[in-house]
Amino acid sequence: MSEISVKAVHAFDGLITPVGETRPAGVVVSERTELALAAVLARKRRAGDLAALVANEFGCHLPAPARRTEGRDISVVSTGPGAWLACREAGGYGFAENLAETMQGVASVTDQSDAFAVLRLTGPRVRNVLAKGIHLDLDANVFLPGHAAVTQCGHVGVSLWRLDDLAGGDAAFEIAMFRSYAESFWHWLSVSAAVYGLAVAAGG
Amino acid sequence: MSQPFRRSSGGHIDRTQPITVSFNGKTLHGYRGDTIASMLIASGSHLAGRSFKYHRPRGILSHGSDEPNALLSVDWRPEKGEGRRDPNNRASVVEARSGLKTATQNHWPSLETDIGAVNDLLSPVFVAGFYYKTFMWPRKFWDKVYEPFIRKAAGLGDAPEVPDADRYANRHAHADILVVGAGPAGLSAALAASEDGSKRVILADEGFKLGGALLNDVTSEIDGKPAAVWVEEMVAQLDARENVIVLPRTTVFGYYNHNHIAMVERVADHRDNAPDGLARERLWQVRASKVIIAAGSHERPLVFENNDRPGIMLAESARAFINRYAVLPGKSLVVATCGASAYRTALDAKAAGMDVKIVDIRLGEDCGPELAEARSAGIDVLTGHTVVKALGTKRVTGVVVAPLGNDGSVGTRRTLTCDCVAMSGGWTPSVHLFSQSRGKLAFDASLDAFLPGQSAQEEVSAGACHGIYDLSEIIADGYKAGGSDTSVSATATFTGFQPVRVLPTDADPKKVKAFIDFQNDVTAKDIKLAVREGFESIEHVKRYTTTGMATDQGKTSNMNALGLVAGLLDRPLPAIGTTTFRPPYTPVTFGALVGPSREDRFEPVRTTAIDPWAVANGAEFEPVGQWRRAHYFPKAGEDMHAAVARECKAVRTSVGIFDASTLGKIEVVGPDAAEFMNRIYTNAWAKLKVGGCRYGLMLGENGFVMDDGVVARLAEDRFHVTTTTGGAPRVFQHMEDYLQTEWPDLDVFITSITEQWAAIAVQGPNARKVVEPFVSDIDMSEGAFPHMAVREGFICGVPTRLFRVSFTGETGFEVNVPVDYAEAVWKTLYEEGRKYDITPYGTETMHVLRCEMGFIIVGQETDGTATPDDVGLSGLVSKKKPDFVGMRSLARPDMLLPDRKQLVGILAKDPNEVLEEGAQVVEDPSLPVPVPMIGHVTSSYFSSNCGRSIAMAMIKGGRARIDQTVWVTTPKGFTEATISTSVFHTVQGEKVDA
């Protein structure tokens, strides 16, 4: 294996830019460029083993449908029956490979690190913006931290999950879409958030 | 004085804010709080339009969204240029603002003088069903005479001719309780529902001022307070609650499944200084746990001769104009009624200084306390009287009335002069939304109305739409719907009416125009004719006569029509039933429905990681599904033909580079992966070695070609499947469907990896030289890495799945890399390729090159009815496998017929002529029409490599027709061509057999 000699271009490079009045901004966005992702599909009749393995290896529950859990150096989002998206910060292309080895025989693992573009959206008006594209009830008392959904946003298929609120109390969501939709999604987001002001935070 | 009929005080208008509006080029004066209708009445005029069929002058019938006549074209921001005008706005609900430019509709040359009024004299021609009767013969008139005539006459208003210049917003919302309507019931319901703060409540009302009918009420008191004060206090309480969203100017127009409610909010039209970029309207899609419908009721007109003359309006509407808008509908008013509520109008009109008489069809002993109250106020009341007809043309000048005998006979006529008439035929609860929710209506004979019966969803109706008309009961019903048993004391309401379908008359009913449906110009005699001609179902009567159609959907007219039909058929009214209530409740702009999804944002566009490079390098693009793909890369001065010819040559002589990232890619993983592939594809997979590739053909259950693509085996239990660009979602679903429903025993999992891996195709004799320098961990030698093989390693240090495949016939590699690095790897290969004059090419060149080799494109050569054998791929159908999807269908007798269309080449006699794709092929064009068709052209190009045009076609029994001369249709006639084999180009050097 040799060193990567070329430069990565992330999904929102060249797109992500502040919109409207940003002092203060109603919404703050950043791209999660370093998040490694892997689709995890439980093998037949091995879901229990997979849950045990995840608990042992990563110290977290395998999330129930429409939920997300966090473990040691990993988070896991439910994306469908027997299907999860495993995420690791700065996991690189080795993440899926290692996970496949760890889960050998109990789950099928496929690298999706570049397949999804992931944005983190926070700010006092984040729910107002999401309400323009997502038909789910994202009320603070309904869609709690640790809740997740596979849905549509402005005609683009997305996975969505809520993180713990920021220190200041603002809600935080992450939203993942197939990368080829980034340009269209950005158009939707920038138009929808313009009235509240959209600021860009450092990625990561 | 510009507002001679404006009262000096009162009303919900702001006299400190005078406004002017353009109306047919003239200036109307009024105040904030007015509608166009109230401003027109303030000016002393009622003339607000011409009727649809007979072009009769029409006035203002109502004060609400049920207005059928006064439809206006409104240019909302004429100062901002074109694209802000829309038709069919109801003058009675357009919130007036200085700067609006309004115009009446359906007349020429002017509202006052309309040539079309001759239709009124020709009315025997325009009877019910005249479309079906009048435009039958002669046949040759159909498209040249009748159709243009009907098209010109049909439809209300003129559709805008330029794109809508406004922006429209949309949003979703969730509520525990959505209250529709902010009249006394709705306000009470919303207050009760939001009381403890635990529920999210949305209150929406179509009007610009909340309060509903209480805005028209200057006499009622609620708990000792004037009604208007009570409304203000209720609204203030609701506004103060954080759990309540109050939405005026918001029409609930659709009630769908799962309490999914659609409503449109007018955001900008009423604002004096709407900032640029502010959305004009906002579409709300609400999911509510419970819906409280407090939509009120519609007053019915009375049906008598010339009941459509301007100056004749609904009684409650007259009250609204007098009290809410502080305008008098005239000086001398006749109230014609069959019920009690209109007496309140008479009393208020009298109090406002009008000269008032009441004509009541009821006998004195059938009336309630309203009669005595009217008489004690000094109003002349003629009980037991009918209205025979109205006098006047562009404005009512009087009504002819007559006493009714005990036997129903019509007595001596007398004329009451007046300049306005307030009529009331009783009340119809607004059950539109309840019906849209699929709830079942129940007929209440005592109220002569259909009321909400059995619910289909979690909703409840309250107030007048629930058949409750007394104010204190309405408020109690609202509180109850909101979950409270609060009651109030309120002034008693005059309620009750004696239903009458058509007022008794001694005139010849055949010569009388007494309108049931004002908007569609449907008269009582039209309904009678329809019934006489055998139409009994109310749905048929509706379509035959058009009653209840168009923008008002018969809100005022339906019950009169139903009652008349029931009477004619001598059946009880509930046996007739109602027509279906459909969304929208009132017209909705397309802009609001479409929102931001318009023009190039009509649907999302998918772009590849290499798209920015293609843009920077001058590519022309084409849409393929949602993808935007580079079509070709013209150099300066090149047209598409020249660019494609150059690109094609380059690939065959040196090397080309192509973005194949949009191809569908699916990873099939699991212990039973090979078995799954065996069942999904026609060919065999068990023996494909790890590192090998194979072209796969996939059929639907019907045995027809569904998709194709190269499949690589990465491991014993892991396949990397490619599909066509457009077919990827379909194939994924097909696989998932079989896994979940047919073969749940298979331990196989599929994941789309289309978006994970970008694919860069490097094709041509020099392809290896371009790729090889950057590859590590892969033995690139011919022996170690043959054609139709896959290797995993690195390129530029990036993980790659490197395919040795070719869709061009030349040596080729498809470099799959994770998408983040695709652009960088592409640029690296492109720079290296400059040594060999590397040429980027697009989808058009890809198509030409594969056609030169005779490779099919699924969806181009195939049309969903082609078997593998039809397209010459029977060799890919395993004879040994026990089963695969589509296998049984291939054995059906008609799949084996010799005259099935088969894929062949077809060469125009003139080598420079490019046949048209889709062109029909015949054996002999001199045969009489219809000439038997033997097939069609599927692909056709000019091939620079072949030095001539080439084409493929599906031809009946085509493989037996090689060298046969045929004729192909062209835009001008036929051209001669020869059937050939479908391989047009032989690649020198390296042999490929993709």
pLDDT single digits (tens) A65-116: 999 999 999 999 999 999 999 999 999 999 999 999 999 999 999 999 999 9
Q: What percent of chain B has pLDDT over 90?
A: 87
User: What are the tokens at B888?
Assistant: 């049984």
Q: What stretch(es) of chain B map to CATH 3.50.50.60?
A: 166-298+427-495+586-595, 299-426+496-576
Chain B residues whose CB is inside 8 A of the A14 CB are 612
Give the distance from residue B832's alpha carbon to the nearest chain A alpha carbon, in angstroms.
14
The closest of B601, B857, B768, B803 to B691, measured between CA atoms, is: B803
- Is the pLDDT at B240 greater than 70? The verdict is yes
Give the pLDDT of residue B407.
87
Same domain, A56 and A94: yes
CB contact under 8 A, A6 and B818: no
Give the distance from residue A132's alpha carbon to the nearest chain B alpha carbon, in angstroms.
4
Find residue B718's DSSP bridge partners: B669, B715
* Residue in the block written with tokens 């990827």: B728
- Is the pLDDT at B987 greater than 80? The verdict is no
Residue B479, chain A, CB below 8 Å: the answer is no
Query: CA-to-CA distance for B443 and B460, rounded, in angstroms?
Result: 17
The answer to whether position A164 is within a domain reads yes
Same domain, A119 and A190: yes
Q: Where are the beta strands (DSSP E) in chain A?
A: 27-31, 35-42, 68-71, 74-80, 83-89, 107-111, 116-122, 148-153, 156-163, 172-178, 198-200
The answer to whether position A87 is within a domain reads yes
B705, B706, B849, B939, B943 from B951: Cα distances, Å:
20, 22, 12, 5, 9
Range of the domain at A133: 27-33+115-200
Mean pLDDT of all residues in B558-565? 92
Same domain, A166 and A94: no
Cβ pair B411, B404 in contact under 8 A: yes
Give the pLDDT of residue B610.
98
Mean pLDDT of all residues in B703-714? 97
- Is the pLDDT at B634 greater than 50? The verdict is yes
Same domain, A119 and A188: yes
The count of structural domains within chain A is 2
CB contact under 8 A, A184 and B819: no
Same domain, A121 and A98: no
CB contact under 8 A, B749 and A114: no
Question: B928-966, pLDDT tens digit by residue?
Answer: 989 999 999 999 999 999 999 999 999 999 999 999 999
The answer to whether position A143 is within a domain reads yes
Residue A184, chain B, CB below 8 Å: the answer is yes
Chain A residues whose CB is inside 8 A of the B796 CB are 4-6
Predicted ipTM of the assembly: 0.96
Give the distance from residue A143's alpha carbon to the nearest chain B alpha carbon, in angstroms.
12
Q: What percent of chain B has pLDDT over 70?
A: 97
- Is the pLDDT at B615 greater than 60? The verdict is yes
CB contact under 8 A, A8 and B824: yes
Query: CA-to-CA distance for B906 and B953, rounded, in angstroms?
Result: 6
Q: What is the dihedral of CA B909, B911, B917, B922, to 10 degrees?
A: 0
Domain B299-426+496-576: which topology?
Answer: FAD/NAD(P)-binding domain (3.50.50)
DSSP single-letter state for residue B372: H
Question: B128-185, pLDDT tens digit by residue?
Answer: 776 666 667 777 777 777 777 666 666 788 888 999 999 999 999 999 999 999 999 9
Last residue of a domain, one of A111, A138, A170: A111
Question: B869-893, pLDDT tens digit by residue?
Answer: 999 999 999 999 999 999 999 999 9
Same domain, A57 and A96: yes
Cβ pair B845, B813 in contact under 8 A: no
CATH superfamily for domain B166-298+427-495+586-595: FAD/NAD(P)-binding domain (3.50.50.60)
Give the pLDDT of residue B909.
97
CATH class of B14-126: alpha beta
Same domain, A163 and A131: yes
Same domain, A85 and A107: yes
Chain A residues whose CB is inside 8 A of the B597 CB are 155
Give the pLDDT of residue B846.
97
Residue B285, chain A, CB below 8 Å: the answer is yes
CB contact under 8 A, A43 and B749: yes
Q: Where are the alpha helices (DSSP H) in B907-950?
A: none
The CATH number that applies at residue A154 is 3.30.1360.120
Report the chain B residue with the minimal C-alpha distance to residue A106.
B670
Give the distance from residue B292's alpha carbon to the nearest chain A alpha carbon, in angstroms.
20
The answer to whether position A21 is within a domain reads no
The CATH number that applies at residue A96 is 3.30.70.1400
Chain A residues whose CB is inside 8 A of the B815 CB are none
- Is the pLDDT at B112 greater than 90? The verdict is no
Which residues lie below 8 Å from residue B691, measured CB to CB, with a gap of 6+? Answer: B713, B789, B790, B791
Query: CA-to-CA distance for B9 and B524, rounded, in angstroms?
Result: 41
Mean pLDDT of all residues in B47-67? 93
Model confidence at B988, pLDDT cuts 50, 70, 90, reads low
Give the pLDDT of residue B13.
98
Give the distance from residue B822's alpha carbon to the nearest chain A alpha carbon, in angstroms.
8
Query: CA-to-CA distance for B261 and A152, rounded, in angstroms?
Result: 19
Give the pLDDT of residue B106.
81
CATH class of B639-849: alpha beta
Query: Is the CATH number of domain B854-980 3.30.1360.120?
Result: yes
Give the pLDDT of residue B548.
87
Q: What is the count of residue pairs from A and B with beta carbons less than 8 Å apart? A: 127
Last residue of a domain, one of A111, A135, A156: A111
Residue B823, chain A, CB below 8 Å: the answer is yes
Residue B776, chain A, CB below 8 Å: the answer is yes
Same domain, A96 and A165: no
Give the pLDDT of residue B382.
98
CB contact under 8 A, B606 and A135: no
Mean pLDDT of all residues in B441-453? 96
Last residue of a domain, one of A111, A127, A154: A111
Which residues lie below 8 Å from residue B603, measured CB to CB, with a gap of 6+? Answer: A155, B597, B626
Lowest mean pLDDT among B304-308, B657-661, B865-869, B989-993: B989-993
- Is the pLDDT at B623 greater than 90? The verdict is yes
Chain A residues whose CB is inside 8 A of the B823 CB are 9
CB contact under 8 A, B747 and A9: no
Give the pLDDT of residue B1.
53
| Sign of the Cα pseudo-torsion (B496, B501, B507, B512, in order) | positive
Task: Report the run of H or E that residue B206 belongs to, with start and end.
Answer: none
- Is the pLDDT at B521 greater than 80? The verdict is yes
CB contact under 8 A, A185 and B604: yes
Model confidence at B990, pLDDT cuts 50, 70, 90, reads very low
Which residues lie below 8 Å from residue B16, measured CB to CB, with a gap of 6+? Answer: none
Residue B259, chain A, CB below 8 Å: the answer is no
- Is the pLDDT at A184 greater than 80? The verdict is yes
* Residue to test with chain B: of A5, A95, A109, most B Cβ within 10 A: A5
Q: Is B64 exposed, middle or buried (0-12, 13-18, 19+ CB in 10 A)?
A: buried
Same domain, A143 and A180: yes
Give the pLDDT of residue B992.
41
CB contact under 8 A, A110 and B170: no
CB contact under 8 A, B172 and A134: yes
CB contact under 8 A, A41 and B798: no
User: What are the tokens at B178?
Assistant: 């959505």
Give the pLDDT of residue B152.
67
- Is the pLDDT at B4 greater than 60? The verdict is yes
Residue A134, chain B, CB below 8 Å: the answer is yes
How many residues in chain B?
A: 994
Model confidence at A3, pLDDT cuts 50, 70, 90, reads confident
Same domain, A62 and A122: no
Q: Where are the beta strands (DSSP E) in B132-167?
A: none
Give the pLDDT of residue A203.
65
Lowest mean pLDDT among A181-190, B191-200, B366-375, B554-563: B554-563
Question: B718-730, pLDDT tens digit by residue?
Answer: 999 999 999 999 9
Choice between B796 and B132, residue whose per-residue pLDDT is larger: B796
Question: B379-411, pLDDT tens digit by residue?
Answer: 999 999 999 999 999 999 999 999 999 888 999
User: Identity (one letter) of the amino acid at B427?
Assistant: W
Chain A residues whose CB is inside 8 A of the B824 CB are 6-9
Residue B375, chain A, CB below 8 Å: the answer is no
pTM: 0.92
Q: Tell me if residue B637 falls in helix, strand or coil.
A: coil
Model confidence at B650, pLDDT cuts 50, 70, 90, reads very high
Mean pLDDT of all residues in B589-616? 94
Same domain, A122 and A195: yes
Phi, psi of B547 (to 5 degrees): -65, 135
Give the distance from residue A32's alpha carbon to the nearest chain B alpha carbon, in angstroms.
13
- The verdict on whether omega for the bond into residue B882 sits within 30 degrees of 0, i.e. cis, is no
CB contact under 8 A, A43 and B747: yes
Give the pLDDT of residue B642.
97
The closest of B83, B683, B677, B57 to B393, measured between CA atoms, is: B57
Query: CA-to-CA distance for B109 and B103, rounded, in angstroms?
Result: 13
The answer to whether position A81 is within a domain reads yes
Model confidence at B989, pLDDT cuts 50, 70, 90, reads very low
CB contact under 8 A, B776 and A108: no
